[in-house]
Amino acid sequence: MKFWSRLKDSLSGIGQALARYPVTILWLMGIAILNMIEIESSFSRYSQFIFTFVIGAMLSMVGQHIYERFYKKTTHRWLILGGSVLLTILYYFTLTSGDIFEYVYFIRTSVFLFSLLIAFIWIPSISNKQVYFHQNFLAIFKALLTILLFSGVLTIGIFAIIVSIDTLLFTMPADSTIHAANIIWCLFAPVYFLGMVPVYHEQGSQEGAREDAYLVPRFLEILLTYIVIPIVAIYTIILLMYVLLNIGGQFWTDNLLEPLLVAYAIVVIVVYLLSCNIDHRFADLFRKIFPKIMLPIVAFQTISSILKIQEMGITYGRYYVILFGIFAVISGVIFSFFPPNRNGWIAIVLLVLGMISVTPPIDAFTVARNSQMSRLEKTLVENNMIENGMVQADASISVEDKIVVTRSVDNLEMFGEIERVNYLPQDFDVYADFEEVFGFPMTYSTQIPGSPGNYAYLNLSEETVMNVEGVDYWGYVFFSSEEEKEWEVGQGNILKIIYQEDDYFTLQLTDQNGTEIINGNMSEAIEHAFEQSDVREPLEIEDMLFVVENDAAKVTIVMISLDEYGNRVNGEGHLFVDYK
């Protein structure tokens, strides 16, 4: 009986979704049909239509919630849904006719979709004393987890059936699994999800909603209070120790820390919103303490991200990192000093920041484009490389300026804005014409101007040939200042590459009894490679070669890459050992 009862509930939920979100269902069906056509035979305007249909589906979902929260008459509902269709059509005409799977369109659409999702969650809680933002967040979060689980299991099951039929009975079409995945994830999953969204009546009340929609399942409560919150606590302690120990130096320049802190802020915000629905001592402590700890961490990181603009200028990635930092700081303030029933304010902040990021002339791509064009032009002018409105090649400029030029041109090409640089030749191809136009090859380096960093790498073109004839041992080596490594290199002999703090690496070859066969220091070869990388990149074999030889053996390392940053030195290469 329980099975049939649950099946009945599931079917009624799907029926409810069909009646409640009819326009959304039509958009979803369109997405599934588009994907079917693309799977069978790709067509040129697929990306335009798929982006438009996804936006249309989300707009109609938000429109339905606006109606349920603020209106009663059916005419209001169809006017709002009609408005969502009109906005979708207008969005379509903002897209170019070419291939729009480019950074600008993809990211702009992603921002729109994320903003619409936040609005979808937030609207039912506006000025609502019965449904707060964190409650509706929980309901949507549970529905998403359920759908991911159900759809994942269904996908595995359908794939297994198709493979079994193909293997045991008769041959199935090659794209059967892709079509199945399309139906499951583009039609079944979203429709089932919409059937789980709580129903709002009487301007936002919970009447008619499922009784358990705003309850935390026991499994999720245990997961949050006894696993997630303690892990976040330990991770927070580690971050705090790092920030306190490095606040005077490395914290402000460590690019690796930035994504970790962004991920940390996201986790804290999500866990906080979920914990607002739990009556438990650990959850109470988390709500009281962690937003106040997150606040200074994300504030420092936002300042650090702003300071990094001096290094690379503004890119769209840096723009969004700073924007997220501002959001995280405001969220920390709201969570720390206001009661949970004000959590919905963070949705307003997100929507405002999201709209700012896509509204010219302060949107991410306009700001990033202007920053990179200004940075490029400034560097070229300072080096007297613009004459009569055109670039003049000059290979003698500093490595730091070569890196600035390369990265700025690269970013403009990635944004699709390189045509706006009017002092470059017409039909300029970045990767084919760069060296001819600027006088030096594209120069990349992990070196940060003003800091102790070096990088060198080997030119591994098709013409690169390594002769291994007559060599007794040939292998790959990776050596690092972080740990000592050793390799068995034939005849029971052991080769070690040992880091010397003031002298790079020493190579040592010993026999089975530990008797030294050969010994050589790699510092001269490594320093030569770094010096040559300041002049040109990539390097040829003769500039990345280390050889040590005596009467017993000859050891050669053709270094593929070297990097030095702070106190860390790493390298990799091909090892050749010849015993005499």
DSSP letters spanning 369-388: HHHHHHHHHHHHHHTT-EET
Gap between the Cα atoms of 470 and 53, Å rounded: 63
Structure confidence at residue 118 (pLDDT): 95
How far, in Å, CA of 212 to CA of 139, rounded? Answer: 9
Q: Note whether 57 and 190 are within 8 A (CB).
A: yes
Per-residue pLDDT of the chain (580 residues; tens, 9 = 90+): 454 555 555 566 788 889 999 999 999 999 999 999 988 887 778 888 999 999 999 999 999 999 999 888 999 999 999 999 999 999 998 876 555 446 677 788 889 999 999 999 999 999 888 888 999 999 999 999 999 999 999 999 999 999 999 888 888 888 899 999 999 999 999 999 999 898 865 444 444 445 577 788 888 899 999 999 999 989 888 888 877 777 766 556 555 567 777 888 899 999 999 999 998 888 899 999 989 988 888 888 888 788 778 767 888 888 898 999 999 999 999 999 999 989 999 999 999 999 999 888 898 888 988 999 999 999 999 999 998 889 998 888 877 788 888 888 888 887 778 888 898 988 888 877 888 889 887 776 544 433 445 778 787 654 555 666 667 888 888 888 877 778 888 878 888 888 877 678 888 899 888 888 988 888 888 888 888 876 666 788 888 888 998 888 889 998 888 888 766 788 888 888 888 8
Query: What contacts 70, CB < 8 A, 6 or more positions away?
Result: 203
Q: What are phi and psi for residue 574, nearest 5 degrees? A: -95, 130
3-state secondary structure (DSSP) of residue 559: strand
Strands, E, within 32-160: which ranges? none
- Burial (CB count <10 Å: 0-12, 13-18, 19+), residue 360: exposed
d(CA 398, CA 383): 9
Backbone region of residue 548 per phi and psi (left: phi > 0; alpha: psi in -120 to 50; beta: other values): beta
Nearest in space to 366 (alpha carbons), one of 422, 412, 323? 412
Give the residue from 374, 360, 373 showing the smallest Cα distance to 415. Answer: 373
User: What's the rounded Cα separation, in Å, for the pair 159 and 185?
Assistant: 13
CA atoms within 13 A on the CB side of 214: 20
Other C-beta atoms lying within 10 Å of the C-beta of residue 83: 14
Task: Tell me the Cα Rg of the chain.
Answer: 30
Neighbour tally for 194: CB within 10 Å = 23
- Cα 110 to Cα 5, 114, 116, 471: the distances in Å are 38, 6, 10, 54
The whole-model pTM stands at 0.72
Q: Do the strands 553-565 and 453-457 form a parallel or antiparallel pair, or are they unpaired?
A: antiparallel
Q: Which own/partner pairs from 253-256 qualify as long-range (CB within 8 Å, at least 24 positions apart)? A: 253/304, 253/308, 253/448, 253/451, 255/308
The domain ranges of the chain are 2-196, 218-357, 364-438, 455-579
Instruction: Determine the Cα–Cα distance for residues 92 and 284; give it in Å rounded to an integer.
Output: 47
CA dist., res. 81 & res. 142, Å (int) = 26
Residue 233: which residues within 8 A CB-CB, separation 6 or more?
286, 290
CA distance 253 to 305: 9
- In the chain, what is the straight-line distance between the N-terminal and C-terminal CA atoms, in Å? 83
Dihedral of the alpha carbons of 318, 260, 221, 234, in degrees to the nearest 10: -150
Give the DSSP letter string of 307-338: HTHHHH---HHHHHHHHHHHHHHHHHHHHHHS
CA separation for the pair 505, 483 (Å, rounded): 12
354: three-class secondary structure by DSSP: helix
Distances 349 to 119, 201, 295, 345, 439 between C-alpha atoms, Å:
11, 27, 16, 6, 47
DSSP string, 496-510: EEEEETTTEEEEEEE
**pLDDT value of residue 470:** 66
d(CA 158, CA 181): 9
Domain spanning 455-579: CATH 2.60.98: yes
User: Distance (Å, rounded) from C-alpha 474 to C-alpha 557?
Assistant: 10
pLDDT at 449: 38
Q: Look at the block and give the residue holding tokens 């600027």.
A: 438
DSSP output for 462-487? TT-----TT-SEEEEEEEETTB-EEE
